[in-house]
Structure 1
Amino acid sequence: MPWFKYTAYEKSGKKVESSIEADNMPTAQKELKESKQLLVSSITPLQGAGAQSKGLFGGSRNVAIRDLEYLTSELNLLLESAVMFDQAVELLAKAKRNTGIGEVLSQISLKLKSGSTISAAFGSFSTLFDSLYVNLLKIGEESGTLGPVFKGLSRDLKFRNDLRQTIIQATTYPVIIFAVCMLSVVFIFNYIVPKMAVLFADAEQLPIHTQIILGISDWLMAYQVYVGVVLLAGAALIYQNRQNPQLIAWFHQRSRLVPGVRTVVLMSDRIRFCSSMSLLLKAGIAMDTAVSLSAGNSANTEIRRELEGVSESIRKGIHLSEALAATTLFSDLFLSLIEIGEESGEVTQIFSELADRSRNEFTQWVSRVTALLEPLLIITMGLIVGGVVVTMMLSVMSINDVAV
């Protein structure tokens, strides 16, 4: 349901500024008048409310991961400067006005003023602030350690943002090279080959390789529009159903069968899990609860299901390292380190160390793969384009030889 920001007056004349959730504006006005006995002066829709239901890219303006990272870091700085939390939120809301995150902060500020707890105010935006974030806020709120909590969360969000940027940077150049390669092939078969085909119009017998090239060109010119329409329709259908749980589960299951993609999935989810476990255990969360919350932080549904099974195993009395051995997330080396951490009572430090190691491994792996992919794609493009040109030239030479 949408939210509405209102200004009203009590019977005593006291001014009240807050927000209310209702199906529509008349319903909100009726509830304020009848239930809360308020005289409404003004009421307007809250623009930030759309972000609650549409996630990181909802509402009238985008709210990206880096926005959440900056917000968390700035809240940490303000709290370390002895600024009251509600004042810190209000200051940031004013500083970030007319932005997606500013709208969210304005609504959180209104909730805090109406008596809501910090964790409940942030938790109302469940698609922006996940269960890990909200639960840590609740712990920090109850223990009076919000500053360290926001510091840890800002570090975790920075790692997530860096991870995302690393993946984007690693795939951008190969995708561009692949696109150029495909466009070059389309250009050759649409313009170069048809013009050269005129040379073979009177030939009675053509080499098999020439027939293949000409056949591909004819087929592409006849059906490329239909192929393009089918591809666009498929892409649109996938985009429209991108939140479909069955489609997501199918994609996550198949992605783990592709060697390179499998490595990215396992490494990125291992980083998320280890960094989340480090934060939660440092905050004093019980092991089974920490595993359950960290499992929800996983991007892959298959791995999330495995980790949820780990949480159930721990409740039955099975050691953490033994329970994690049943998953595909950790290697034998990492499992042995977790076992050592259990025996020494330093599991929190071990998970922090594993998160750092996993980040370093992932960065090095991405660098190696990128360095290998770039020349391979360039060579592939050269072979495709050069192969077509050489084939056509050989065909011309063979026809000239026959003529002689």
Structure 2
Amino acid sequence: MGKLADGLEKDQALRGKVKGAMMYPIIVMSVALIIVSLLLVFVVPTFTKMFTDAGMELPGLTQAIVNVSDFLAGIGGVVILLLVIVAIYLFKKFVTSPKGKRKWDQFVLKLPIMGEFSRKVAVGRFTRTMATLLNSGVAILTAFDIVTDVVGNEVIADSLRNAKDSIKEGNTIAMPLKESGEFPTMVTQMIEIGEESGAITEMLGKVADFNEREVEDAIAAMVAAMEPLAIVVMAVVVGTIVIGMFLPMFQLSDMAG
């Protein structure tokens, strides 16, 4: 029971780190959008009124920013907000349906960086949970039923269902996992070595430890890259708005000079 609790604790800790990593870019983008929206809806109109009262001809950049500001401050902002709410609702409905979840998981696994990250997370859950269950005396086929429900990715889950059917026919664990093409070569090779040496539980635990370290490193790298990127993007957007608002003033100063 102690090992089962330790396994579950490690899995929960990893899930928490993954959720945190997923939330970080969402929070950063949300803050950036709020700041830009406040500038466009409340600050820009103040400058626009000043320019209009002065009868100034606006440069192209300034006029473009004013147009966006007018759109957001009017019915456009409400329309965009409603579209975003509807899009989020439809997306959640899609990914919570069995067919939609499978299609979304297929899409995510094909993404350049996120795909590899998601695969490592799913494989880590499989190896950690399987090692914990086998170590606790759970039968191999029953263990496969359980891990299929916890991997969190329907593509990987399908591979595990097929592997269970193959094991029923007397095949090894490694063979169907290798044939699926969804598991890294290192993982299937270590499982194969574990089966041949009679130390499958220990080998699954080692794979899980290795995978978890890789996931943690990937999370750290993602957060480290996201922070400066977010600052640069915000600086460019806010800087563009500020420059656009001050351009007419520079022109006015030149004319006065």
| 1:116-195 correspondence runs (5 A) | 150-195=1-46
Q: Deviations over 1:19-78 (max 9, x none)?
A: xxxxxxxxxxxxxxxxxxxxxxxxxxxxxxxxxxxxxxxxxxxxxxxxxxxxxxxxxxxx
Q: How far is 1:297 from its partner?
A: 2.5
Q: Distance in 1 between matches of 2:8 and 2:191?
A: 24
Find out whether 1:261 has 2:114 as its counterpart. Answer: yes
Does the 8 A contact of 2:163 with 2:177 survive in 1?
yes
Greater Rg, structure 1 or structure 2? 1
Q: Counterpart in 2 of 1:387?
A: 240
Q: Distance in 2 between matches of 1:308 and 1:239?
A: 25
Letter in 1 for 2:73: M
1:256 is paired with a residue whose SS is helix
Q: Deviations over 1:150-202 (max 9, x none)?
A: 22321122012201221233344443332221111101111221121234433
| Residue number among 207, 220, 231 corresponding to 2:72 in the alignment | 220
2:183 is paired with a residue whose SS is coil
Q: Distance in 2 between matches of 1:334 and 1:237?
A: 36
Q: TM-score, normalised by structure 1?
A: 0.56
Find out whether 1:282 has 2:147 as its counterpart. Answer: no
Does the 8 A contact of 2:40 with 2:68 survive in 1?
yes
Q: Distance in 2 between matches of 1:240 and 1:174?
A: 22
Q: Counterpart in 2 of 1:211?
A: 63
Does the 8 A contact of 1:270 with 1:329 survive in 2?
no
Q: Distance in 2 between matches of 1:362 and 1:390?
A: 41
- Distance change >3 Å, CA 264–CA 243, structure 1 → 2: same
Letter in 2 for 1:361: E
Q: Distance in 2 between matches of 1:245 and 1:375?
A: 37
Does the 8 A contact of 1:199 with 1:396 survive in 2?
no
1:330 is paired with a residue whose SS is coil
Q: Counterpart in 2 of 1:303?
A: 156
More helix by share: 2
Q: Distance in 2 between matches of 1:378 and 1:171?
A: 18
- Distance change >3 Å, CA 336–CA 242, structure 1 → 2: closer
Q: How far is 1:316 from its partner?
A: 3.7
| Residue number among 217, 230, 233 corresponding to 2:83 in the alignment | 230
Q: Deviations over 1:129-162 (max 9, x none)?
A: xxxxxxxxxxxxxxxxxxxxx2232112201220
Does the 8 A contact of 1:289 with 1:311 survive in 2?
no
Q: Distance in 2 between matches of 1:233 and 1:340?
A: 50
Does the 8 A contact of 2:3 with 2:136 survive in 1?
no
- Distance change >3 Å, CA 326–CA 200, structure 1 → 2: farther
Letter in 2 for 1:255: V
| Residue number among 204, 218, 222 corresponding to 1:365 in the alignment | 218
| Residue number among 325, 329, 335 corresponding to 2:178 in the alignment | 325
Q: Distance in 2 between matches of 1:233 and 1:385?
A: 28
Does the 8 A contact of 1:177 with 1:377 survive in 2?
yes
Q: How far is 1:292 from its partner?
A: 4.0
Which has the higher relative contact order, 1 or 2, with Cα contacts under 8 A spaced 6 or more apart?
2
Structure 1 segments (4+ residues) deviating >4 Å: 236-243, 283-289
Q: TM-score, normalised by structure 2?
A: 0.85
Q: Distance in 2 between matches of 1:390 and 1:334?
A: 53
Letter in 1 for 2:161: E
Does the 8 A contact of 1:271 with 1:358 survive in 2?
yes
Q: Which stretches in structure 2 are left out of the alignment for 5+ residues? A: none
Q: Cα RMSD over matched residues?
A: 2.6
More strand by share: 1
Does the 8 A contact of 2:28 with 2:230 survive in 1?
yes
Q: Distance in 2 between matches of 1:398 and 1:327?
A: 65
Does the 8 A contact of 2:144 with 2:164 survive in 1?
yes
Q: Distance in 2 between matches of 1:226 and 1:278?
A: 51
Letter in 2 for 1:352: G
Does the 8 A contact of 2:56 with 2:248 survive in 1?
no
Letter in 2 for 1:218: D
